[in-house]
Amino acid sequence: MNQLLNFRREYSATEFSEENALHDPFQQFKNWLNDAVQSGIEDANAMVLSTAGKDLKPKSRIVLLKNVNSEGLSFFTNYNSNKALQIEENPNVSLLFPWQLLDRQVRIEGTAEKVSPEESDEYFISRPEGSRIGAWASPQSRIIPSRKYLEEIEQELKAKFIARSLPRPLYWGGYRVIPELFEFWQGRSNRLHDRLEYYRNNGNWKIRRLAP
């Protein structure tokens, strides 16, 4: 384990300053997301979602961002999953986009709320058939006896719905995270990184710099 002490590299990215930061954090995020996609980062829309229920024990997992607009950032999941149960108890969540290839990360804090059934329906029918069947087959976060158990349910569903489209299960749908804070981190030399935080003040977004 002592070899971990020697794991280090120098960051040499260009600066991220108050002068070149956009006033709108959503547009700034979209620009950085586009940079991540254009740079060839696989799963550039992958984000770490952290939640904590009433027991205040945080849990983190990777989910995929499926939409971002001025209302918030959306992802989809099973409403019976651990993450959904924690959101029901405590809607305050955190998102993290780690774009290491660009020496960047974006951290977002906000509250999560369910999207409309219509929005969940629209996304569900756009998914590949296998993914739709998977949403029905998996009792997400629950203990199951074996992999075979899951595969048998999958085969039963394939046979059952072979002649008709698969509807969205009512226990599956989307959440929208409504941000209250964005933090944009850009790696710089000598660990003097750029950290700009967007925060809400009387309904407006303000920018302040954080020490690295």
Reading the block at residue 161, the tokens are 């719905």
Contact 107, 32 (CB under 8 A): no
Q: Is 56 left (phi over 0), alpha (psi -120 to 50) or beta?
A: left
**Closest among 156, 168, 81, 161 to 132, alpha carbons compared:** 168
Tokens of 185: 């981190």
Going by the DSSP 8-state scheme, the letter that residue 15 receives in this structure is P
The backbone torsions φ and ψ at residue 161, rounded to the nearest 5 degrees and listed phi first, read -110, 15
Dihedral (C-alpha) 137, 138, 144, 147: value to the nearest 10 degrees? 70
**Nearest partner of 169 among 48, 81, 97, judged by Cα:** 81
d(CA 108, CA 65): 13
26 Cβ contact list (under 8 Å, min separation 6): 68, 69, 70
Judge whether 8 counts as a catalytic residue: no
Among 142, 191, 208, 209, the active-site one is 191
Kindly list the catalytic residues: 191
